[in-house]
Amino acid sequence: MKRMWIALVLAASVSLAAQDTKKGDTAPKKPQVQRLFILKYADPGQLMGLLQVFDASVRQNAEIHALAIEASPEAMRAIEDAIQRLDVPSALPKNIEMTVFLLVATDSATPAGSAVPKDLDDVVTQLKNTFPFKSYGLLDVLAFHTRTGQRVSSTSSGGSLQVGSRQVSVISSLRIDSISVQSDGSTVRVDRMNSSFRVPVPTGGDQISYQDLGIQTDLDIKEGQKVVVGRVGMSHDQALFLVMMAKVL
């Protein structure tokens, strides 16, 4: 009986020791502080994305231009310093004017589309020196105004191509996730640009089908510069070139 009592006491001691060890393994949660930051210049959405590097809960309210943040005291001090450095007059949203030219290159001596604007003569000369196409024409122009930090979406059916005896519209779409201005004040950064083109293809006689083409990229555009963003093949003797210009207003 005495041996059984000793065994029970030992078992209880081991159980209590295991519970104490388990409690000791659980680190106490760090105290959290909460702050509401009313921004003067910076865009709350853009700043919220940058502050994700900190171990903090960040919420934004675009209407009152504010950020609600919960973090440890140490992280909050770092966040306060970051906001003080980033919420400056240069962070104010800027107006951007963008123009997108769609050029059609062909092996034929007769250009497709309409006449290329004189402003693009230097671009056409550059393309002719690089690619073996004989002529270039203007298919369509997409022009729009936006602000830094905003998404852009534009669609046009103003361009057309001759297919057999028919003039058939080309549907062009452009989407940009974000536009920003670099620190030099004249370079426009385009993030995640996605362009798509629905182009008619002859299938015999006056019958046509459509092929979907597109260009996806990020790029920097120096103000006033004409940038050839990319090229997509339309057929064995035709290609579509996308040229972009940007201006900070």
Q: Is the pLDDT of residue 10 over 80?
A: no
Question: Which structural domain, as residue segments, surrounds residue 178?
Answer: 95-248
Is there a single domain that holds both residue 63 and residue 137? no
| DSSP bridge pairs for 162 | 167
Phi, psi of 202 (to 5 degrees): -70, 140
Quick one: pLDDT at residue 4? 43
Query: C-alpha 56: how far from its chain's center?
Result: 24
Residue that has been written with the tokens 């910076």 in this structure? 42
Mean pLDDT value across residues 220-249 = 92
Give the chain's mean pLDDT: 85
Quick one: pLDDT at residue 59? 93
Whether residue 9 is contained in a domain is answered as: no
Q: Indicate the pLDDT class of residue 19, thresholds 50, 70 and 90.
A: low
Quick one: pLDDT at residue 167? 86
Is there a single domain that holds both residue 185 and residue 131? yes
Model-level pTM? 0.68
Q: Is the pLDDT of residue 197 over 90?
A: yes
Whether residue 8 is contained in a domain is answered as: no
Is there a single domain that holds both residue 225 and residue 106? yes
Q: Which long-range contacts (CB under 8 A, 24 or more apart) does 203-208 make?
A: 205/164, 206/163, 206/164, 206/165, 206/166, 208/163, 208/164, 208/166, 208/168
Is there a single domain that holds both residue 133 and residue 200? yes
Nearest to 123 by CA among 243, 245, 218, 231: 243
Mean pLDDT value across residues 182-194 = 87
Whether residue 138 is contained in a domain is answered as: yes
Whether residue 16 is contained in a domain is answered as: no
Mean pLDDT value across residues 228-238 = 91
Quick one: pLDDT at residue 58? 94
Q: Is the pLDDT of residue 14 over 90?
A: no
Is there a single domain that holds both residue 141 and residue 237? yes
